[in-house]
Structure 1
């Protein structure tokens, strides 16, 4: 481990450089990271990265799922619950079943149980890849909400299928009534455990005398506590983390102060950035070991590639069919129940169907397959499953990942009018905040308002915001002047910090932080 430490550091630096390149050429970073890992794997003498299969889920999944739950909007999830639920549960089950039938029919020695195992691994699309791609093209909010909400929940359903398939492969039997009861417990128990532990941590933040650092550390512990507690009781650890994460995200302003939220968000973004980078790089680096394992199973590289491309093609076109099937179902159901959108159009299903890149969860699930069964016999077709998973991830990331931005631009998605334009919404919120603030001051603090210069200054700012035609948004040339002023202030503070010891550096840093926040504020306008 220690002799390879410089290589691990170099890999982290390489991840940063690749992501910088992806931002420059406007290509989603998961695509470039997988290709980079693949190219590096052919360099002679490169260390083989090995992670204990039993630790894959614990290392990567809890923090990635938890951060995704915090980033998702509960309001949007609930509004689009029918389409998200359909893709996250029904479509995943249909996909896994279809993959099982295809694998059982066309891959020699592949039982239905192994087919369901493979289906559970490769059925969930990856939210990270889709989000990274959509960063470079403008898509309607509903599209990103549906895709991200689907990927948040379909991980749970696919891993439940994966777990049942593992039991069937290991025992050689599958008892339906036991599986049904176990499924109910995995779902209900996972959600309940996540909510209970989330509530406990919420109270811990509220009642214990924590500071910002302690708050952030507790947020690191939370997803692991949820996941491990659920798995120990044979419930779904994924659903526990997702449900608990959504609960805490919804109540974040009840138990975290502004400093904890601000610093915690930055820390979590860095952590998830690193974990995602490592996973996508690991996908490419794993190929030589997977190929060598194929030889042990007696499967040629060409045969395995053919199986992988067959399954990939089936997944891509199957998801497109499902997208348009969901469109037809929505139009039929709109005659009987109220739906979020009665006429979603023909373009949206195409984009949702094409945004089916596989990634982190599929790799983690495949690598978590044990090398041997409980009786010591090698796990059947483990290396072939790993290789097919690799092909699916690589082809969907490169093919769909590179063409999705072009497709979005080409078909020109309509403005569905789900939300107000961003500038209009911001101005509306500013006006309402100003009105609420003025009403509070004039109604509750009349005497202080007469004598306090600071309150009078705030009142003037809010009154300007309420004047017709006035806008607090700075024109671009004024922004440029203001940024120059902030840069002069920053330079003065740094010079003052270097020139003497009369002012404590902590005070200087406080003012530098305020300048940074102000600069970010005007950038966002």
Structure 2
């Protein structure tokens, strides 16, 4: 590890540069990172990267899922709970079943158990890939919520299938009763453990004399603790992290101070950015290790990978249209979130968001080299290679074409008919009214004592009485930015010229200018 430290530091710099390039050319950064890692792996003298499955499952997976759970909207998840659960569990099981039969029929020596194993590995779409792509183009909120919710849960269902398939391959038998009980415990136990530990961490934040730094550390420890405890109790660590993260996110304003919330958001944003970049780069870098152990002809193995990729794409599209068809029927018997016919475009869009990622590769790498009796694990290297091809093709093909499809379809949002700026203006106006009313009803007698309170009252009254938002005009923003930049230059120059000036004070004012500029960018 230490002898390759320089190489890893260079990789981090390359990741940052590639992400900036991806933003510039408006391409999802996972695509560029995987392709770049693939290209770097062919450079002579490049150190061989060996991905430890435990590293992915314990170091990378918990924080990535935890951050996604914090970012998710519980309100939207509950609204679309039926379709989210359907895609996260039913569609994953259905996909694994289809892959199992196709692999058993077309790949020589592949039993149904091995097919289910492969299906469990490649069935879950990757959350990070879809999220990175959807940042470039706008889609209706309901569809992004469905994709976010699915991605939070499908890793759990796929890993459950993977475990059961591993048992079947290793023992040659599959006991349905035991599997059903184990499945129930993994789901209910995982969610329950996550909720209980979430309550435990909430109590720690509330009862202990924490500050912003300690609160950030506790949020960093929480996902690993949840995952480890659940896995030790043979429950789903993924569901534990997701359920605990959703609970803490939904209650964060009741136990985290403002400084802690701001600090937590900043730290987690940087951490998740770095973790995502590393794991996608590692996917491409791991190709030499995967190919080196391949017994089958490379072109034949690639053909199998293409076959499985096509099956995955078609199965997800069929499942998306099937979900719409079932919803249209069931709305006559139960209350569903949406009673409108979404047409053919929305299911096609949902069906095309099936990019695979690092969880699939980590699951494939966790397959042992030998069975319990010491014999080599059947087709292990071929499963690894097929998984790599699936990840590469879905990222490149679907990842590059998804923005085009979104723009081409031009799907209208049936829920939010007003623009974001209109809603934002209305909320800020109502907040100003609340501030004015509170001062006049409760603190009016203190206005003369606190001139700053008078200034704030005047600001809010001006906002309430204003018929238009001046910050919406680009020319005004440019002027305001020019003023901020001039103030920033003056502060930096003053700090440089006056040796006895406390730099902490200057940094505080620089931060205030940064916050003003950030606020301006949000208008």
TM range (shorter): over 0.9
Indicate if the aligned counterparts of 1:465 and 1:472 stay in contact, CA closer than 8 A.
Answer: no
Indicate if the aligned counterparts of 1:142 and 1:418 stay in contact, CA closer than 8 A.
Answer: no
Q: Deviations over 1:66-123 (max 9, x none)?
A: 0111111111111111111111111011011111111112112212221111111111
Aligned to 1:203: 203
Deviation at 1:436, TM superposition (A): 1.6
Shift in CA distance, 377/419, structure 1 to aligned 2, threshold 3 Å: farther
Q: Deviations over 1:290-329 (max 9, x none)?
A: 111113xxx1112211111111111101111111111111
| Equivalent residue for 2:392, pick from 372, 391, 394 | 394
| Equivalent residue for 1:330, pick from 319, 327, 330 | 327
Distance 1:378 1:500 in 2: 72
Deviation at 1:450, TM superposition (A): 4.1
Aligned to 2:460: 462
Mapping for residues 348-427 of structure 1, pairs under 5 Å: 348-418=346-416, 420-427=418-425
2:483 partner SS: helix
Indicate yes or no: 2:48 matched with 1:48.
yes
Distance 2:367 2:59 in 1: 15
| Equivalent residue for 2:514, pick from 498, 513, 516 | 516
Aligned to 1:431: 429
Distance 2:453 2:99 in 1: 66
| Equivalent residue for 1:488, pick from 480, 486, 489 | 486
Aligned to 2:336: 339
Aligned to 2:124: 124
Deviation at 1:468, TM superposition (A): 5.9
1:70 partner SS: helix
Distance 1:498 1:259 in 2: 29
| Equivalent residue for 2:505, pick from 479, 504, 507 | 507
Q: Which runs of 5+ in 2 are unaligned?
A: none
- Range with greater deviation from structure 2 (458-467 or 386-395): 458-467
Indicate if the aligned counterparts of 1:70 and 1:246 stay in contact, CA closer than 8 A.
Answer: yes
Deviation at 1:501, TM superposition (A): 4.1
Deviation at 1:191, TM superposition (A): 0.5
Distance 1:244 1:491 in 2: 45
Indicate if the aligned counterparts of 1:34 and 1:284 stay in contact, CA closer than 8 A.
Answer: yes
Indicate yes or no: 2:256 matched with 1:256.
yes
Q: Deviations over 1:398-423 (max 9, x none)?
A: 11111111111112112323464211
Indicate yes or no: 2:292 matched with 1:319.
no
2:119 partner SS: helix
2:47 partner SS: coil
Aligned to 2:226: 226
2:326 partner SS: helix
What's the TM-score once normalised by structure 1's chain length?
Answer: 0.96
Mapping for residues 180-199 of structure 1, pairs under 5 Å: 180-199=180-199
Distance 2:371 2:439 in 1: 70
Indicate if the aligned counterparts of 1:125 and 1:358 stay in contact, CA closer than 8 A.
Answer: yes
- Range with greater deviation from structure 2 (314-323 or 251-260): 251-260
Aligned to 1:148: 148
Distance 1:17 1:469 in 2: 44
Q: Which runs of 5+ in 1 are unaligned?
A: none
Deviation at 1:375, TM superposition (A): 3.7
Aligned to 1:71: 71
